[in-house]
């Protein structure tokens, strides 16, 4: 494994990485950074929590010419939370060099964001909607963009942003590098690559059945649907996790469960799209600092919430979408740390559970008694490997 020094990075970038206690590149960083430094187009498929943000931010900050007060790198992400995370980490990486990073997203005063852009930004992180608003209003200059990044591309496509991404990419008429980071490879990514990328290098650091880090352990708790709330309370009381996320399907479910947990535990808060941006930012900040111990949220936080202290993820209700399970689970076990994912399962979710187990290539580990259904306990859920 190469060191950051072996990658021939700018001394100011190396100094910043040392301050951030980055010891050596992760697998995705070691694979992608040399290619990005060489200005090659890239499609990188990597598991969640593998260090993709820094893999992109390090070479981008390294390549910035700080004497040009214009946007030289444009990073497009699906959510406000991910935009803030990306901007924060990029700013730290580029701090010693003097790289100016800024994030624009909906829910904030557009005139204030425009004023910041006029003062000079080298790296811009943006959500699609706000970026397109600025393009239409001619409030942004993208003529100097040398690198375009689409991060969590599969999530943006699933959220219906395909046409928005098409429009953004068509606005960059100058020659530029395009980097596409994704956890999965839906059809739309191939279409984007074919239309807008120049002989992209493809790096696959995960397969469909091995996307979850080995440091993450998966457990399942079978309960009756009328006892789901009490089962979660008993579980949290027994485990006493230092910091955890509890995922719900809807805002209503999220609010109801949070009120219940607040009666039992201290340090409980909520996060969903129904809150104002200021409130979401405040709650996220409190969670990162440890002032919030248990965060009850919808899938607004399934992507982009990178908090190293999360030891447990509780999935209150299992989704039928296996990718949602992967991304929820990815909030723990970040950067090779240990983590546990515990899913509450009732009879209603058994068919969804079957899909999840097949997708992550694992057999169920039950906490307590398993369901008394022969098809679940006896039928093989783990895929045979090619060598078998």
Phi, psi dihedrals of residue 298, rounded to the nearest 5°? -90, -175
Fold of 216-377: Rossmann fold (3.40.50)
79: nearest Cα among 159, 171, 192: 159
At residue 27, the pLDDT reads 82
At residue 369, the pLDDT reads 86
Q: Determine the Cα angle at 52 with ends 47 and 53, to 5°.
A: 140
Task: Report which secondary-structure segment, H or E, holds 45.
Answer: strand 42-45
Helices (H), 38-94: 52-63, 80-94
How far is Cα 123 from Cα 360, in angstroms, rounded to an integer?
Answer: 36
Which pLDDT tens digit goes with each residue over 17-61? 999 988 888 888 888 999 999 999 999 887 666 678 899 999 999
How far is Cα 128 from Cα 242, in angstroms, rounded to an integer?
Answer: 35
User: At residue 208, does pLDDT exceed 50?
Assistant: no
DSSP 8-state secondary structure symbol assigned to residue 78: S
Contacts of 162 by beta carbon, 8 Å cutoff, 6+ apart: 156, 188
List the structure tokens of 26: 């992760």
- For the chain, residues classed under CATH 3.40.50.300 are 5-204, 216-377
At residue 321, the pLDDT reads 81
Query: What's the whole-model pTM score?
Result: 0.68
- Give the chain's radius of gyration (CA, Å): 21
Cross-strand pairs, 366: 220
Which pLDDT tens digit goes with each residue over 92-118? 999 999 999 999 998 888 999 999 999
Choose the most confident range, by mean pLDDT, from 1-5, 87-91, 106-110: 87-91
How far is Cα 83 from Cα 131, in angstroms, rounded to an integer?
Answer: 12
Fold of 5-204: Rossmann fold (3.40.50)
Report the mean per-residue pLDDT for the chain. Answer: 85
Cross-strand pairs, 222: 345
At residue 347, the pLDDT reads 87
Does residue 123 or residue 25 have the better pLDDT? 123
At residue 372, the pLDDT reads 75
What's the whole-number mean pLDDT along residues 79-102? 92
Which pLDDT tens digit goes with each residue over 173-198? 899 999 998 877 677 777 888 888 88
């Amino acid at each position: 494994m190469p060191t950051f020094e072996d990658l021939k990075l700018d001394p100011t970038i190396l100094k910043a990485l040392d301050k951030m206690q980055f010891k050596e590149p992760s697998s995705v960083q070691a694979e992608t950074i040399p290619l990005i430094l060489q200005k090659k187009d890239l499609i990188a498929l990597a598991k969640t929590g593998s260090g993709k943000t820094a893999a992109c931010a390090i070479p981008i900050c390294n390549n910035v010419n700080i004497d040009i007060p214009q946007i030289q790198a444009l990073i497009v992400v699906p959510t406000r939370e991910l935009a803030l995370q990306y901007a924060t980490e990029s700013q730290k990486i580029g701090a010693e060099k003097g790289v100016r990073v800024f994030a624009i997203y909906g829910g904030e005063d557009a005139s204030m964001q425009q004023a910041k852009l006029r003062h000079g930004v080298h790296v811009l992180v943006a959500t699609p909607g706000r970026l397109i608003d600025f393009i239409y209003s001619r409030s942004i200059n993208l003529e100097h963009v040398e690198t375009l990044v689409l991060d969590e591309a599969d999530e943006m496509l699933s959220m219906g942003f395909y046409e928005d991404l098409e429009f953004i990419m068509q606005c960059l008429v100058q020659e530029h590098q395009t980097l596409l980071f994704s956890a999965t490879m839906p059809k739309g990514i191939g279409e984007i690559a074919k239309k807008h990328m120049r002989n992209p290098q493809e790096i696959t650091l995960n397969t469909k059945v091995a996307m979850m880090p080995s440091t993450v352990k998966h457990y399942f708790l079978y309960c009756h649907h009328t006892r789901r709330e009490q089962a979660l309370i008993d579980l949290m009381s027994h485990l006493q996790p230092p910091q955890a996320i509890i995922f719900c399907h809807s805002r209503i479910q999220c609010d109801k469960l949070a009120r219940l947990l607040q009666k039992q535990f201290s340090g409980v808060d909520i996060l969903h799209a129904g809150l104002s941006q200021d409130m979401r930012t405040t709650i996220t900040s409190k969670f990162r600092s440890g002032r919030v111990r248990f965060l009850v949220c919808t899938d607004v936080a399934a992507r982009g919430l990178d908090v190293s202290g999360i030891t447990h993820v509780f999935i209150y209700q299992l989704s039928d979408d296996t990718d949602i399970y992967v991304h929820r689970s990815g909030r723990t076990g970040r950067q090779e740390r240990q983590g546990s994912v515990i899913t509450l399962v009732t009879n209603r979710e058994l068919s969804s559970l079957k899909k999840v187990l097949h997708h992550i290539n694992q057999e169920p580990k039950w906490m307590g008694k398993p369901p008394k259904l022969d098809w679940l306990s006896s039928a093989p859920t783990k895929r045979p490997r090619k060598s078998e």
